[in-house]
Amino acid sequence: MSTADGPSDKNIGCAIYLHIPFCVSKCHYCDFASYAGKSHLLEPYLNALLTEIGSASVQENTRRIGSVYMGGGTPSTISPETAEKIMSAVAKKFNPSASSEKTIEANPESVTPERLAGYIKAGFNRLSIGVQSFNDRNLKSLGRAHDSQRALEAFDMARKAGFKNISVDLIYGIPGQTLSEFAEDISKAVSLAPEHISAYQLTVEEETPLWDMVEKGTVIMPEDTLLLEMFEKTVTSLSKAGYRHYEVSNFAKPGMECKHNLSYWLGEEFLGFGNGAHSFINSSRFANPDEPEDYIYEVDTAGRAGAEILGDEKDRVLEFLLMRLRLVGKKLTFKELDEKFFPFGRHDKHGPRPLFDETYRHPLDWISKNGLAEVNSDGFTLTHKGLLFLDDILLEFEKV
């Protein structure tokens, strides 16, 4: 799956995403389309999800499926029987191969040995556990529903249930978290020997309790220098432990990169089902309504949900860069960009137009001058520094 030039984009295929919006409680920092206290919607939601999957068009269901990912929310709040119903509907409609990656996300508070064994029976071969931290104080300040002991037990249960491909999610930059506490999180994660580790920087999203706390000054977010140290710590510790840094926040044992997320980062097609899910198919983007009630209503009345997200070519270029530049050490060639965005060369029906490297010459010179990328005649590769300043790079491209 990986090469010296970064993860391979061969045979990734179309990705299927299934959204389960239910959570035990709402974490302080979360702005996902996830909800606590809506379990009464479980049945109508499941029915809507099955209807939406069943109504995929012929065009959509002839795609070769590279991966299936059930995320949320907290998918481990649903029973194995429910998970199996959803996976059967996916198998019937899309026929993913037995060997394709099929991930289910789980949170420590909602797993049991029986539940995990049931998910394997339902067809899942990869588990992503939302550990976030092994430090109880930090878990509490995130508003998580589990403690560190429960996280360790969940991992152990998953191995015993038979999951051979497990990813552990960590968060750094938690208010009050020290560098040594985070280093301890990394070493505890490594000691479990998961196949994959994600380490995300905590971001403050609008309309979350964390945002309010920061606004009121009751919580102070860490300084950039500490965040950089934490990022560096992640890269050096995990590299030393045999994990390859293949995306800004993701690390994998050789060959164990998350194929589903690679589809997004490589700009492949994906089909999303459930509230808040997005799809990208036939060069068009679609988004389902965020609220489960709206989603259920749309599917009940129209048989499917979602509206096309309209955007111009510039939006599409920026969206692609936002995802594709996250891949570590993988050169982005001008040929690839021209084929995607300038397929008619210098002349299309609107008349003459420059190719990518001419259109975006200014940001390309800027990232090169600032040591954020190595730019040469056939493409560019972000440097380590460039990965850290991805947002600034995108702002520069946005100015064009």
- CA distance linking residue 71 with residue 69, whole number of Å: 6
Q: Which is closer to ligand SF4, CB of 129 or CB of 238?
A: 129
Beta-carbon neighbour count of residue 69 at 10 Å? 26
| Site for ligand SF4 contains 73 (CB under 6 A) | yes
Q: Which is closer to ligand SF4, CB of 20 or CB of 328?
A: 20
| Site for ligand SF4 contains 30 (CB under 6 A) | yes
| Site for ligand SF4 contains 78 (CB under 6 A) | no
Taking the complex as a whole, the smallest distance from the CB of residue 154 to ligand SF4 amounts, in Å, to 13
| Site for ligand SF4 contains 83 (CB under 6 A) | no
Taking the complex as a whole, the smallest distance from the CB of residue 109 to ligand SF4 amounts, in Å, to 9
Taking the complex as a whole, the smallest distance from the CB of residue 110 to ligand SF4 amounts, in Å, to 9
H-helix or E-strand containing 258?
none
| Site for ligand SF4 contains 103 (CB under 6 A) | no
Residues in binding contact with ligand SF4, number by CB under 6 A: 11
H-helix or E-strand containing 123?
none
| Site for ligand SF4 contains 26 (CB under 6 A) | yes
Taking the complex as a whole, the smallest distance from the CB of residue 195 to ligand SF4 amounts, in Å, to 21
Q: Are 382 and 325 a contacting pair, CB within 8 Å?
A: yes
CA 71 → CA 18, 88, 183, 260, 383, distances in Å? 6, 17, 27, 11, 31
Q: Are 307 and 294 a contacting pair, CB within 8 Å?
A: no
Taking the complex as a whole, the smallest distance from the CB of residue 72 to ligand SF4 amounts, in Å, to 5
Q: Which is closer to ligand SF4, CB of 109 or CB of 336?
A: 109
Ramachandran region, residue 54 (left: φ > 0; alpha: ψ -120 to 50; beta: rest):
alpha
Q: Which is closer to ligand SF4, CB of 110 or CB of 250?
A: 110
| DSSP code per residue over 83-121 | HHHHHHHHHHHH---TTSEEEEEE-GGG--HHHHHHHHH
Choices 23-31, 38-46, 117-125, 350-358 (CB under 6 A): range interacting with ligand SF4:
23-31
| Site for ligand SF4 contains 72 (CB under 6 A) | yes
Is the backbone peptide bond immediately before 386 cis, with ω within 30 degrees of 0?
A: no
H-helix or E-strand containing 132?
strand 126-132
Q: Are 288 and 295 a contacting pair, CB within 8 Å?
A: yes
| Site for ligand SF4 contains 175 (CB under 6 A) | no
Taking the complex as a whole, the smallest distance from the CB of residue 169 to ligand SF4 amounts, in Å, to 9
| Site for ligand SF4 contains 27 (CB under 6 A) | yes
Choices 25-33, 46-54, 231-239, 377-385 (CB under 6 A): range interacting with ligand SF4:
25-33
Which of 23, 86, 154, 375 is the binder for ligand SF4 (CB under 6 A)?
23
Mapped onto helix, strand or coil, the DSSP state of residue 188 is helix
Ramachandran region, residue 274 (left: φ > 0; alpha: ψ -120 to 50; beta: rest):
left
| Residue corresponding to tokens 């499917």 | 304
Q: Which is closer to ligand SF4, CB of 23 or CB of 166?
A: 23
H-helix or E-strand containing 138?
helix 136-142
- Pattern 129-158, binding to ligand SF4, x per CB under 6 A? -x----------------------------
Residues that bind ligand SF4 (CB under 6 A): 23, 26-27, 30, 32, 34, 72-74, 107, 130
